[in-house]
Structure 1
Amino acid sequence: VLSVIYKAPPEVFSLAMGVASIMLGIGTYIWGPIVDRLGGRKTLTMAILASAIVTYIMYPALGIMWGYIILFWLVTFFGVVGMPGTSYVASRSVRPELVSVAITTIFIAISIASIIGGFTAGALIASQGLATTILIAATIELIGGIMMFGLPKV
């Protein structure tokens, strides 16, 4: 988005990555108590569905800078539960001696998905365009959120 729409220099990409780290840091403090109260499955389901909604909202906001500012706060409150939430669920789902293995396995899966997703998204953006790729990502998130209802309670 930064390079396609705004023709941003590489420094702006670095700033965007710093903002993502801040969002993750803020989100950890927000979602930790929520996961404790609601449980892992409910919290992850709510976060994935909220993230899908935010991604659908991103589609019409592509050319509007205020849209990104609003999306920053929406994603901060709804979209960053992934890492702390999955770690929490992993630590509660296995025997105490296997917690580090469970968390490592989840982070390996997330890393592999990030790598494959980057290649896939790049190919989709090149062939279909940014807007179509965002809609595809939102649909995949929505399907994942709906599939969460079939998981056992954690």
Structure 2
Amino acid sequence: MAARLSPGDTAPDFTLTDDHGEQVTLSDLRGRKVIVYFYPAAMTPGCTTQACDFTDRIDVLQDQGYTVLGISPDSPDKLATFREKEHLRITLLSDPDREVMTRYGAYGEKKLYGKTVTGVIRSTVVVDEQGEVTHAMYNVKATGHVAKIQRDLGLQTA
């Protein structure tokens, strides 16, 4: 498992396929602030809550210059179904080999119901306009996380 990222680190670049079958490359977003969040599986209760929270707050985040990228191991087709079913307005990316998750420290051992398992670690990394990590949060809770990000970034939460 790769080490977790910290503020000041350069965010590892990546190119992943989105739910429309298009390629999205992090370095192509230079000049913008990017919130990259990792979640275990589309259409599960916690992941749905988190994706809907980002969608509900997307206008405030975009008004402050943020692009939101949600990354899971799900296929682009499953992500498209997730987007349509939940009316999501964020970019969903597929990392089936979990390579990007591993480089970001968002895949590895974690506790699940008291047992140690290997899987996706719900995490969020905020990247500035130059590609540098400003915030790195691991083992986050799905509920209330987007409001916490907004507070941490000094953005309005309404």
More helix by proportion, 1 or 2? 1
Name the larger-Rg structure: 1
> Normalised by the size of structure 2, how large is the TM-score?
0.25
> Normalised by the size of structure 1, how large is the TM-score?
0.26
More strand by proportion, 1 or 2? 2
